[in-house]
């Protein structure tokens, strides 16, 4: 896989267990800083749907 510019939430700047995201022109890649080789690839539509679901609390317990 090509190198991507991985970013993480500012709240995780010094933590070791954080979500990381890399945005490419045709896909969005998501991984955990603990498992950087385990990368999920999402379409931009899937990414928008995931972010909307998180914002709407669909994954809240």
Q: Provide the whole-model pTM.
A: 0.81
Q: Is residue 55 part of a domain?
A: yes
Q: Is residue 17 part of a domain?
A: no
pLDDT in tens, 10-49: 888 777 789 999 999 999 999 999 999 999 999 999 999 9
| Res. 55 pLDDT band, cuts 50 70 90 | very high
Give the angle 10-49-45 at the CA atoms, nearest 5°.
105
Q: Is residue 10 part of a domain?
A: no
C-alpha to C-alpha distance for 42 and 57, rounded to whole angstroms? 20
**How many Cα atoms occupy the beta-carbon half-sphere of 4 within 13 Å?**
20
Alpha helices in 10-56 (DSSP H): 44-55
C-alpha to C-alpha distance for 37 and 22, rounded to whole angstroms? 13
What backbone phi and psi angles, to 5 degrees, belong to 51? -65, -40
| Domain limits for position 59 | 27-61
């Amino acid at each position: 896989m090509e190198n991507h510019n991985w970013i993480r939430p500012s709240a995780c700047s010094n933590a070791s267990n954080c979500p990381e995201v890399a945005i490419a022109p045709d896909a969005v890649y998501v991984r955990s800083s603990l498992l950087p080789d385990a990368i999920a690839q999402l379409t931009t539509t899937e990414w928008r749907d995931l972010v909307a679901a998180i914002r709407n609390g669909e994954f809240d317990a």
